[in-house]
Chain A
Amino acid sequence: MQWQFWIVQTLNSVSFGGLLFLLSSGFSLAFGLMRIPNLAHGAFFMLGAYFGATVVYFGGDFWLAALAAGVGVGIVGIALERFILRPLAGNVQGQVLVTLGISFIIADVCLLVWTGDPWTVPAPPAMRRPLLVAGFAFPTYRLVVVVIALVAAVALYFLMERTRLGAMIRAGVDDMEMARGVGIPVSLLFTVVFLLGAVLAGAAGAFGGPILNAYPGLDADMLPLALIVVILGGAGSLLGAFVGSFIVGFLYNFGIALFPDLAYFILFLPMLLVLVFMPQGLFGRAAP
């Protein structure tokens, strides 16, 4: 029985870490490039969860739901970047506060449209049956989420390290002035990266639906986790987001399972250690 607990909790932690990676990788990249944390990112996640829940509710396929959530939230993200953040270019503080204002609006609109009751999202039928391995029952859906996160991680790795676009993004993260100087269209990159982050957050919301459900306040639950991942991992670092997500996933899950009252406090400890000893995060670069 004890064994079972640890194994199941470990799997839960890994799958939650995977979700967090989908959520925070885009957040971290946009933060590294644009120098602003998008405080509407938690709201994007929640919006994605609601979009996904709605598509499933109306009989849509689960993958279609994730796609719709990604596209829908991506449109919101583009609109936010183009019409609100762009006019505030240069005013970093203003941009951050505006994203916070937007997150309140999104959260309240969600409450209006989807009401205050949580929307439970059933896992796809094929993945509901637990997977039996060596006598242990694993929830199949959580394994699928881990696989999705790993696929996304590999895809993002190739995007960032092996493509021209990725090289341009990395150049922008490292030294924006130089990147502009050599003719990289940095402002276009802003839109691309912001869109990428929004799509990932939306899809993550849809994938998270069967695990977390869609409920008011989901945004406020997820945003601090994404922030802590980025504080741990370092802004703009894909590897940092990956490692940070799984650290936070484990701490949060085991924290909730073992010390439910102190789950948030346990998250505080690694953040404290990293801030004291490595203020740039584990994989972040020192600010120029």
Chain B
Amino acid sequence: MNRKSIAVAIGATACAAVPWIITNDYFVNLASQILIYALLALSLNLLLGYGGMVSLGHAAFLGLTGYSTILLVLAGHDQLTTAILSVVFSTACGALFGVLALRASGIGFLMITLALGQIVWGIAYRANELTGGDNGLTLPARPVPFGIDINSASNFYHFTLIVFAIALFCIWRMTRSPFGAALCGTRDQPRRMSMLGHNVWMIQWLTFVIASFWGSISGLLYIYYNLFMSPHAISLQQSAEALLMAILGGATTLSGPIVGAVIITIVKNVVSTYIERWNILLGLIFVIVIMFMPNGLVPGCRQLWQSIQSRRKAPAPETKSASEPAP
């Protein structure tokens, strides 16, 4: 076993032990929330960090999965069928959104995803008969996977952790696969990639679909955690928060979005106990991070660590720069 796998094992054990270390339900629930948002940010980061595509509509998948889960359960389907159908539905919407958004690149992509996300929000908000409008909808109960009750805070945390770990492993494998390398290639040199015979559009579209799939999975966890869905959960702020998590942590790294999710979720929870409004702070963090820390914390710290270790004047090797949208 090398050092890295030992570190992973220690990290996994520590994560699994969280409910026994902190016994307070509030904090265990906070940890579950962090995992849910971390998965959302991770899935978004496949587009943002690895694909160089800035999506501002990612919360749509939270909403598509959440609403379809509730509606299917209310229609009398069992939880397993519901979960599968709603994820399939949400991912299929993602496939369609991807076709539309990839008609443009760079800023055009951003605008189309924003408009699509706002349309999903608008339907959730306006289609009163279907979605309950502003009042939202309630899921009657959490599922009972394999006969295990996940209603208690620590059981739910472990459920979330298992799903998260599977997702993280899959995403990690994907970024290390030839496909992941090709994806980074389309981000940095789309023309060369297509000259080399790669189908740039297909790579980007598949990434969009995969990102919407994992976004939908986090939506499933979200709805199981909250048992409630309202348009506020899928507003532009939510998409922007997920984006901020990825950028704050460092979009070009795998761990960046997780770090970002930990920080943002904790800050949000701490702040909202003192003041009612989180948006001013969200906006300020956004502006400050983008102006002064464009590469995010993880690459920043890594750079610092390298320069401490080498003690040389020469600047640390540039980590992959924040991708620039194709002209």
Q: Which residues of B contact A96 (CB under 8 A)?
A: 54, 107, 110
Q: How far is it, in angstroms, between the C-alpha of A61 and the C-alpha of B323 when the chains are bound?
A: 50
A100 and B122 contact, Cβ closer than 8 Å, known pairs A108-B277, A108-B279, A262-B127? no
B300 within 8 A of A: no
| Contact residue among B123, B129, B130 (Cβ-Cβ distance under 8 Å from A264) | B123
Q: How far is it, in angstroms, between the C-alpha of A261 and the C-alpha of B133 when the chains are bound?
A: 9
Please, which residue of chain A has its CB at the minimum distance from the CB of B110? Answer: A96
B138 within 8 A of A: no
A227 and B115 contact, Cβ closer than 8 Å, known pairs A94-B290, A96-B110? yes
Please, which residue of chain A has its CB at the minimum distance from the CB of B277? Answer: A108
Contact with A along B268-303 (1 / 0, CB 8 A): 000000000101101111110011001000000000
Pair A104/B237 contact, Cβ less than 8 Å: yes
Please, which residue of chain A has its CB at the minimum distance from the CB of B294? Answer: A94
Please, which residue of chain B has its CB at the minimum distance from the CB of A35? Answer: B107
Q: Which residues of B contact A109 (CB under 8 A)?
A: 280
Pair A101/B115 contact, Cβ less than 8 Å: no
B324 within 8 A of A: yes
Interface pick from A48-56, A84-92, A126-134, A157-165: A84-92
Interface pick from A141-149, A178-186, A187-195, A270-278: A270-278
> Distance (Å) between the CB of A193 and the closest chain B CB?
16
Q: Which residues of A contact B264 (CB under 8 A)?
A: none
Please, which residue of chain B has its CB at the minimum distance from the CB of A106? Answer: B283
Q: Which residues of B contact A260 (CB under 8 A)?
A: 126
Q: How far is it, in angstroms, between the C-alpha of A92 and the C-alpha of B107 when the chains are bound?
A: 8
| Contact residue among A94, A105, A224, A263 (Cβ-Cβ distance under 8 Å from B118) | A224
> Distance (Å) between the CB of A235 and the closest chain B CB?
9
A265 within 8 A of B: yes
Chain A stretch 266-288: residues in CB contact (< 8 A) with chain B:
267-268, 271-272, 275-276, 279, 287-288
Pair A287/B107 contact, Cβ less than 8 Å: no
Q: How far is it, in angstroms, between the C-alpha of A108 and the C-alpha of B278 when the chains are bound?
A: 9
Q: How far is it, in angstroms, between the C-alpha of A265 and the C-alpha of B107 when the chains are bound?
A: 23
Pair A97/B247 contact, Cβ less than 8 Å: yes
Pair B100/A265 contact, Cβ less than 8 Å: no
> Distance (Å) between the CB of A197 and the closest chain B CB?
16
Chain B stretch 189-245: residues in CB contact (< 8 A) with chain A:
235-237, 240, 243
Q: Which residues of B contact A231 (CB under 8 A)?
A: 111-112, 115
A75 within 8 A of B: no
Q: How far is it, in angstroms, between the C-alpha of A65 and the C-alpha of B129 when the chains are bound?
A: 39
Pair A92/B119 contact, Cβ less than 8 Å: no
A228 within 8 A of B: yes
> Distance (Å) between the CB of A63 and the closest chain B CB?
32
Chain B stretch 116-173: residues in CB contact (< 8 A) with chain A:
116, 118-119, 121-123, 126-130
Q: Which residues of A contact B108 (CB under 8 A)?
A: 279
Pair B130/A108 contact, Cβ less than 8 Å: no
Pair A100/B279 contact, Cβ less than 8 Å: no
Pair A37/B111 contact, Cβ less than 8 Å: yes
A123 within 8 A of B: no
Contact with B along A226-237 (1 / 0, CB 8 A): 011011000000
A102 within 8 A of B: yes
Pair B119/A267 contact, Cβ less than 8 Å: yes
B258 within 8 A of A: no
> Distance (Å) between the CB of B214 and the closest chain A CB?
22
On chain B, which size bracket covers the interface?
35 or more
A36 within 8 A of B: yes
Pair A84/B291 contact, Cβ less than 8 Å: yes
| Contact residue among B115, B294, B325 (Cβ-Cβ distance under 8 Å from A228) | B115
A98 and B115 contact, Cβ closer than 8 Å, known pairs A93-B325, A220-B235? no
Pair A97/B290 contact, Cβ less than 8 Å: yes
> Distance (Å) between the CB of B254 and the closest chain A CB?
20
> Distance (Å) between the CB of A226 and the closest chain B CB?
10
Residue from the set B104, B280, B324 with the largest chain A CB neighbour count within 10 Å: B280
| Contact residue among A88, A227, A230, A271 (Cβ-Cβ distance under 8 Å from B291) | A88
Pair B236/A93 contact, Cβ less than 8 Å: no
| Contact residue among B103, B127, B243 (Cβ-Cβ distance under 8 Å from A97) | B243
Q: How far is it, in angstroms, between the C-alpha of A88 and the C-alpha of B160 when the chains are bound?
A: 39
> Distance (Å) between the CB of A152 and the closest chain B CB?
24
A112 within 8 A of B: yes
B56 within 8 A of A: yes
Q: Which residues of A contact B322 (CB under 8 A)?
A: 91, 93-94
Please, which residue of chain A has its CB at the minimum distance from the CB of B237? Answer: A104
Please, which residue of chain A has its CB at the minimum distance from the CB of B106? Answer: A92
B70 within 8 A of A: no
B327 within 8 A of A: yes
> Distance (Å) between the CB of B103 and the closest chain A CB?
5
Q: How far is it, in angstroms, between the C-alpha of A230 and the C-alpha of B115 when the chains are bound?
A: 11
Residues of chain B whose beta carbon lies under 8 Å from any beta carbon of chain A: 54, 56, 100, 103-104, 106-108, 110-112, 114-116, 118-119, 121-123, 126-130, 235-237, 240, 243, 247, 277, 279-280, 282-287, 290-291, 294, 322-325, 327
Using A92-B106, A104-B279 as known contacts, list a sample of 10 further A-B pairs with CB atoms less than 8 Å apart, ordered by residue number in A: A84-B287, A93-B107, A104-B283, A105-B280, A228-B115, A261-B129, A262-B127, A263-B122, A264-B119, A279-B103
Residues of chain A whose beta carbon lies under 8 Å from any beta carbon of chain B: 35-37, 39, 84, 87-88, 91-94, 96-98, 100-105, 107-109, 111-112, 220, 223-224, 227-228, 230-231, 260-265, 267-268, 271-272, 275-276, 279, 287-288
Question: What would 7 A/B residue contacts be, using CB atoms closer than 8 Å?
Answer: A87-B291, A91-B322, A92-B324, A93-B325, A98-B287, A227-B114, A275-B103
> Ordered nearest first, which 10 A-B pairs have the shortest CB separation?
A101-B286, A264-B122, A104-B283, A105-B283, A224-B118, A108-B279, A261-B127, A101-B283, A108-B280, A101-B287
